[in-house]
Amino acid sequence: MAKKRKAPILGDFNFNRIDPYGDKSPVAATATRLHIESVMPDPEQPRTLLPRDLYVQLFTGEKRPLQVLNAWLERGQQAGANPALVESIRKVRQLAATIEHRDLINPITVREPSPDDPTLPLGVKYIIVTGERRWWSHVLLTAEDRPISETQHPDRIKATVVPRENIRALQLIENVARADLSVIEKAQGIMALRDELSAESSKPTTWGEVEKILGVSRSYRSRILKVLKLSPDAQELVARYNLQEKTIRPITEHLKDDPTMQMTALNQIIAWQS
């Protein structure tokens, strides 16, 4: 009997090979290496990895990437540091260790600034579309003078320049793949991706096409989207306590039309987990 094929995992794809709009041509050319200081995170990205005030110092040119990184690391070492901040630093360090030994397998994607972008610091030629954590990992390796594979200096990062029309979909795809998203944010991201693809196409994008792009099964996508049928108050609780889809599945499947019971059941789950 043939083994059942495992469904692809969201975080497993190479984003440079994704063609979200169905073009016959590739999304971008072969990756090149760019100096880390010629690249910068997107100032308009709603989800941020670092505290907002450090981004302001970076975007205004008050501090360079290495200085911002050091300030971030210092905050993580302070007594009573925000657990989310400490966890973000841990993940960057973990990724940096992988890059140090294997190089960057999945290049970051970048775009050229547009006239609508805020003024960027001198020397910045590209804005990150996907891969900010990978970029900060390179900044960390540079700060600690740790060469990649013992030969390549880490101040140059593998990157692919993408056309502006692909940017929004690529960002949505990567955001949906993030492990730190709540199930509510993931569901909203899947809905937004379908809307974005449909807006750029001559016909509405099907759920089958979205599933293929994300590399997920129909049942997975369906289960995730069911959380959006919960009441607004219930969704707020799910997001605040980062409840997993599997944990709340009985509620999404059997109490979708009963907001009062949704809240009662969710509060009971939260009490059990505390």
* Residue 93 pLDDT greater than 50, yes or no: yes
DSSP secondary structure string for all residues of the chain: -PPPPPPPPGGGS-GGG--TT--SS-SS---EEEEGGGEE--TT-SS-SS-HHHHHHHHTTSS-HHHHHHHHHHHHHSTT--HHHHHHHHHHHHHHHHHHHH--SS-EEEE---TTSPPPPTT--EEEEE-HHHHHHHHHHHHTT--BTTTB-TTEEEEEE--GGGHHHHHHHHHHH-TT--HHHHHHHHHHHHHHHHHTSSSPPPHHHHHHHHT--HHHHHHHHGGGGS-HHHHHHHHHTT--HHHHHHHHHH-TT-HHHHHHHHHHHHHHH-
* Residue 171 pLDDT greater than 70, yes or no: no
* Residue 217 pLDDT greater than 70, yes or no: yes
Regarding whether 142 and 41 lie in a shared domain, the answer is: yes
Integer Cα distance of 133 and 175 in angstroms: 12
* Residue 178 pLDDT greater than 70, yes or no: no
CATH label of the domain that carries residue 180? 1.10.10.2830
Percent of all residues in the chain with a pLDDT value above 90, rounded to a whole number: 44
Cβ atoms 171, 129 nearer than 8 A: yes
Give the residue from 129, 162, 195 where a domain finishes: 162
Over residues 141-154, mean pLDDT: 91
The CA–CA distances, whole Å, from 15 to 89, 96, 123, 215 equal 23, 19, 26, 12
Regarding whether 135 and 53 lie in a shared domain, the answer is: yes
Task: Give residue-wise pLDDT tens across range 29-73.
Answer: 457 899 999 999 988 776 678 899 999 999 999 999 999 999 999
Residue 2 lies in a domain: no
Most confident segment among 30-34, 153-157, 162-166: 153-157
Q: What's at 197, amino acid-wise? A: L
Residue 95 lies in a domain: yes
Regarding whether 144 and 69 lie in a shared domain, the answer is: yes
Task: Give residue-wise pLDDT tens across range 114-140.
Answer: 877 788 898 999 998 878 999 999 999
Confidence class of residue 83 from pLDDT cuts 50, 70 and 90?
confident
Name the pTM for this structure. 0.60
Give the residue from 128, 146, 162 where a domain finishes: 162
Rounded mean pLDDT of the chain? 82
Over residues 229-251, mean pLDDT: 92
State residue 263's pLDDT score.
94
CB burial class (10 A; 0-12, 13-18, 19+) of residue 23? exposed
Regarding whether 156 and 38 lie in a shared domain, the answer is: yes
Strand-pairing partners, residue 140, are none
* Residue 27 pLDDT greater than 60, yes or no: no
Residue 90 lies in a domain: yes
Confidence class of residue 76 from pLDDT cuts 50, 70 and 90?
very high
Regarding whether 252 and 129 lie in a shared domain, the answer is: no
Query: Containing domain of residue 243, as a range?
Result: 168-257
Regarding whether 233 and 114 lie in a shared domain, the answer is: no
Count of domains in the chain?
2
CB burial class (10 A; 0-12, 13-18, 19+) of residue 5? exposed
The CA–CA distances, whole Å, from 12 to 5, 85, 102, 108, 131 equal 15, 25, 16, 14, 14
* Cα dihedral value 77, 36, 28, 179, nearest 10: 0
Regarding whether 229 and 117 lie in a shared domain, the answer is: no
State residue 65's pLDDT score.
95
Residue 3 lies in a domain: no
Residue 134 lies in a domain: yes
Regarding whether 124 and 38 lie in a shared domain, the answer is: yes
Regarding whether 178 and 97 lie in a shared domain, the answer is: no
Over residues 227-252, mean pLDDT: 92
Give the residue from 130, 162, 194 where a domain finishes: 162
Residue 10 lies in a domain: no
Regarding whether 222 and 127 lie in a shared domain, the answer is: no
Cβ atoms 129, 42 nearer than 8 A: yes
Over residues 229-239, mean pLDDT: 93
Regarding whether 34 and 149 lie in a shared domain, the answer is: yes
Residue 7 lies in a domain: no
Regarding whether 129 and 35 lie in a shared domain, the answer is: yes
Confidence class of residue 160 from pLDDT cuts 50, 70 and 90?
confident
Residue 194 lies in a domain: yes
* Residue 262 pLDDT greater than 90, yes or no: yes
